Amino acid sequence: MEGLTVFTEMLAAEVLKTTPTKNKAALREAKRGILDYLASAFAGREDAGVLKLLHAIEAEGGHPVAALIGQNKRVNRRQAALVNGFMGHALDYDDVHSDVRGHPSSVILPALFALASCREISGKRFLDAYIIGVEVMARLGQAVGTASYQKGWHNTSLLGGVAATFAGARLLGFTVAETQNAVGIAASQAGGLRVQFGTEMKPLHAGFAAQQAVQSIEWTQQNFRGIETAFDSPIGYLHVYGGKEADEAVYSALAEDWGKSWRISAPGLWFKRNPFCSAASHGADAALELAQLHLDIATIKKIDIVFPPNGDAALIHTCPKTGEQGRFSIEYVVALALLGQPFTLGNFGSTAVSVEAEKLIGKMSRSYDAEHIPDAQAIPKGRFTIVRITLADGSIHSREVSVPKGSPQAPLTDAELESKWRESAPNQHIAEQIMEAIRGLENAKASELGKWL
Amino acid sequence: MEGLTVFTEMLAAEVLKTTPTKNKAALREAKRGILDYLASAFAGREDAGVLKLLHAIEAEGGHPVAALIGQNKRVNRRQAALVNGFMGHALDYDDVHSDVRGHPSSVILPALFALASCREISGKRFLDAYIIGVEVMARLGQAVGTASYQKGWHNTSLLGGVAATFAGARLLGFTVAETQNAVGIAASQAGGLRVQFGTEMKPLHAGFAAQQAVQSIEWTQQNFRGIETAFDSPIGYLHVYGGKEADEAVYSALAEDWGKSWRISAPGLWFKRNPFCSAASHGADAALELAQLHLDIATIKKIDIVFPPNGDAALIHTCPKTGEQGRFSIEYVVALALLGQPFTLGNFGSTAVSVEAEKLIGKMSRSYDAEHIPDAQAIPKGRFTIVRITLADGSIHSREVSVPKGSPQAPLTDAELESKWRESAPNQHIAEQIMEAIRGLENAKASELGKWL
């Protein structure tokens, strides 16, 4: 290709030379991010999909190099990235980033754990690579905008594979040219369709992306060559998936003020209190407030749920059949809250939706209000959910939430996050060892954490 | 997802119940297709990229189940699909299909060889699966139209992974529901960017797609579940990659007259005489005709190369630096022809373009004529290339080609195809054994062919 610019090269150079662990807020949030990812992955370690993937891996074979989280088993790097990515996102319990419109840590960390296995890598370098991975993924999300998501892609995989490849290049100390090459290989594997939401394939997309990053890094290590200009070409990644020319605005989203602050802490990761899609969190909190009124369920005539236009794009199930589909159903989440059912992992599993919940869901309808002005702190920007109950006597009870608990504007405290972790960890001993390893990670080897997976 | 139709299910049912080997023309062309794929793969067996992939596979490990073509080595099914896909397309010497705008056999056959390994599968079933894979890929190409290619995807991988998954489901006798599930998994892995043309990544896309098919099949065998409606949903594969709603026209391209004739023989595969992009074939034949005039190169003032608009989209290199880039450069191909240099594998390798060729390329320019009406038999429809030489004395010599040698309208004879195969085969013994195995394939086990790879 002729006439290319050098943006991919510039970005690779930035990625390789910055050390974001110098930023205290970023360092703190990276440690919280690792703990939250491990909580999500350990919580998902017995998901039915894990066993299926393990069977497929047994049939493949491979050198046992990298740990499968909570399985007491080692597989090859690619397989570890795939399964640990799946596990982290299996319950939709892992972190979200509003710039990404998707899940960064369940892609980036599995790739980094896999690549760091059996290698002498410092904890500080691991943390730097992770923060940079989140940074690139968030900036890619801003550069691509809402176009890719609206079109039908799952940003977690579409953006995650490329971002995790940048992170992997930083972890292993690639040259600029090697980084460009690896990112091009990742761009050519990007994919993942949003239509899979509500199935086991959605979490597998996180695994796909982590696997793509490991492959892109490993093939580059073997000097397998592709284009070095994945972000520059008019038929490159940004154009094909962002649906627009890679213009000044796109480049500025990707590179402006690089290193001034880090998106892992500003705006920050959103750690989930509940194992369902974050787009349902606003409505969940509103419904929990309404549940405090102890309304008689039998007297409910109808329930209106109001979003900004497209605010419910991820919530693809209006009549879920199972708890698993219910992870993507505002109706199911609101029904659980009003029926006094807890948001436990069990209520979002493969069992059928209860008759009680189904009946309540039958009274619900969604609508959209483009005029309504939500809280200025709303996350994502402009987002709100109103849950409005009309009783048989005509009385109306309504609650609106724009800033759900767990989001960066109402973050989980360290104690709340540690409590999420303790509930997921296989036992008290491992829980404490991993927390201690994370606490001192920047002054230790990455393997000090890796050995507990 | 609510409100879906049942098209994916219908197509899966058709795929599973038809036996296209009953059609003599399809059967004959399938056997020619296997021979041509093996010629291309054996010719590519020492490509530098193969060795790099082998190193990466050594590091991964895996059970030795499936043969790597011409390597005297077995690896796991996924790895075999990846490398055999790469090898088939490494030299751009493999078949093309005008409905696909890409390369069917280097995706479908590696997936089928991998899946058939160590299994009792009849040669007839293998041939049926292959014909059906080509059929689905060609119909997908028609359904998606030119949109995906223009946007920036490489159809070989974008369409190939899904098509090879249908073929794999047919090979292993999946149920309709299993087939739907596997196709959904494949749709969620689809990708491959055209910007990689001219690098080692382009042939790897064929390997990607074959690998995706094997994964989609194997995960489905483990009962890993995704959507069963990849082609039905308004945010499914056809919409996301075809850029339009899956309407009647799309469905009719995919299913109408299923089984009446088979696209492997009507319009048919295009077997390449030369190891470069098929889009350069018309210009190559025109330049070879001009070379017969024995013009004095020193007297050439300029060379105009005229295409229909976008007819040169795949020919991304106007100033190639290497023979490898020259596979995607009409300028390089025309220069070789006029300089009397043969279209050998060596002239399309990693060595630099000669000073002589570079000088001649400097006199060339491309233009586009939307009004020109080519031969009614043109392949693809409406395609032509005019090579027009203006000498220093003002005289003009011009040739136009619309139907290049090797295309279905001017097919290689069996003898020509066998000669291509014999040039690529590692030795006379294997050449004869494989030809014999293919000749009797429909009455033997698939392993009778597989044992010679």
Instruction: Give residue B244's pLDDT.
Output: 66
pLDDT tens digits for B270-328? Answer: 999 988 998 999 999 999 999 999 999 999 999 999 999 999 998 999 999 999 899 99
On whether both A397 and A430 belong to a single domain, the answer is no
Q: Is residue A2 part of a domain?
A: no
For residue B203, give the chain A residue with the closest CA: A226
Q: What is the pLDDT of residues A233-285, one digit of tens each?
A: 888 999 899 876 667 778 888 889 999 999 999 999 999 998 898 899 999 99
Q: Is B361 in the same domain as B421? A: no
pLDDT band for B245, please (50, 70, 90 cuts). low
Pairing mode, if any, of strands B385-391 and B396-401?
antiparallel
CATH code (residue B298):
3.30.1330.120
Q: Does residue A225 sit in the same domain as residue A255?
A: yes
Structure confidence at residue B251 (pLDDT): 82
Distance CA A202, CA A154 (A): 8
CA separation for the pair A264, B215 (Å, rounded)? 33
Tell me the nearest-neighbour CA distance from B323 into chain A, angstroms. 15
pLDDT at B247 over 50: yes
Do residues B205 and A189 touch, judged by C-beta distance below 8 A? Answer: no
Cα separations in angstroms, A401 against A308, A313, A334, A373, B253? 12, 17, 13, 12, 47
In a domain, B407, yes or no: no
Q: Write out the H or E segment, with its range, that includes residue B99.
A: none
* C-alpha separations of B211 from B45, B207, B285 in Å: 18, 6, 35
The more confidently predicted of residues B87 and B5 is B87
Residue B361 structure tokens: 């390329």
How many Cβ atoms are within 10 Å of B45's Cβ, its own excluded? 17
Question: What's the burial of A410, exposed, middle or buried (CB within 10 Å: 0-12/13-18/19+)?
Answer: middle
CA–CA separation, B366 and B317 (whole Å): 12
Q: Tell me which chain B residues have a C-beta less than 8 angstroms from the C-beta of A89.
A: none
The beta-carbon neighbor of B190 closest among A191, A219, A227 is A191
- Pairs of residues, one from chain A and one from chain B, whose beta carbons lie less than 8 Å apart: 166
N-terminal to C-terminal alpha carbon distance within chain A: 44
Nearest C-alpha of chain B: how many angstroms from A376? 32
**Rounded distance between C-alpha atoms, residue B149 and residue A176, angstroms:** 30
- Tell me the average pLDDT of chain A: 94
pLDDT, position B3 = 37
Domain CATH for A139:
1.10.4100.10
B185, B189, B190: which is closest to B228 by C-alpha? B185
Residue A291: inside a domain: yes
The total of structural domains in chain B comes to: 2
| Residue with more model confidence, A351 or B175 | B175
| A111 and A237 share one domain | yes
* Tokens found for residue B249: 């026209």
Residues B124 and B249 in one domain: yes
Nearest alpha carbon to residue B343 among B420, B270, B426: B420
Q: Is the CB of residue B50 less than 8 Å away from at least one CB of chain A?
A: no
Q: Which domain range does residue B318 map to?
A: 278-401
Is residue A410 in a domain?
A: no
User: Cα–Cα distance between B219 and A211 in angstroms, integer?
Assistant: 15
Q: Does A305 touch chain B (CB under 8 A)?
A: no
Q: Is B27 within a domain? A: yes
A152 touches chain B (CB under 8 A): yes
Instruction: Answer yes or no: do A267 and A285 share one domain.
Output: no
Candidates B103, B50, B100, B48; CA nearest to B75 is: B50
Same domain membership, residue A254 and residue A294: no
Predicted confidence band at A385 (pLDDT cuts at 50, 70, 90)?
very high
Instruction: Answer yes or no: do A323 and A223 share one domain.
Output: no
Interface confidence (ipTM) of the complex: 0.89
Query: Looking at the domain assignment, is residue A187 inside a domain?
Result: yes
Indicate whether A84 and A194 sit together in one domain: yes
Predicted confidence (pLDDT) at residue A7 exceeds the cutoff of 90: no
Task: Provide CB contacts within 8 A for A24, sequence distance 6+.
Answer: none
Report residue A403 as tokens: 């800033």
- A56 interaction partners in chain B (CB closer than 8 Å): 215, 218-219, 221-222, 224
Per-residue model confidence (pLDDT) at position A415: 95
- What share of chain A in percent tops pLDDT 90? 86
Helix (H, G, I), strand (E, B) or coil at A386: strand
pLDDT at B253: 85
> B369 and B435, same structural domain?
no
Q: Does residue B378 sit within a domain? A: yes
Which residues of chain B does A2 touch, with a Cβ-Cβ cutoff of 8 Å? 318-319
Query: Which tokens hold the place of A350?
Result: 């493969």
Instruction: State how far the Cα of B206 lies from the Cα of B83, in Å rounded to an integer.
Output: 9
Shortest CA gap A190–chain B (Å): 6
pLDDT band for B248, please (50, 70, 90 cuts): confident
Q: Both ends of chain B: CA-CA distance in Å?
A: 44
- Inform me whether the pLDDT recorded for B45 exceeds 90: yes
Q: Does B64 reside within a domain? A: yes
Q: List the single residue in B with minimal CA-CA distance to A245.
A: B151
pLDDT digits (tens, 9 = 90+) for A31-66: 999 999 999 999 999 999 999 999 999 999 999 999
CB burial string A154-189: b at 16+ within 10 A, e below: bbbbbbbbbbbbbbbbbbbebebebbbbbbbbbbbb
Which of B144-153, B260-269, B312-321 is the least confident region? B144-153
Backbone φ and ψ of A412, nearest 5°: -65, 140
CB B216 within 8 A of CB B161: yes
- pLDDT tops 90 at residue B147: no
Q: Does A4 touch chain B (CB under 8 A)?
A: no
A348 and A247 in one domain? Answer: no
| Cβ contact, residue pair A77, B55, below 8 Å | no
Same domain, A268 and A283: no
For A379, the 3-state DSSP assignment is: coil
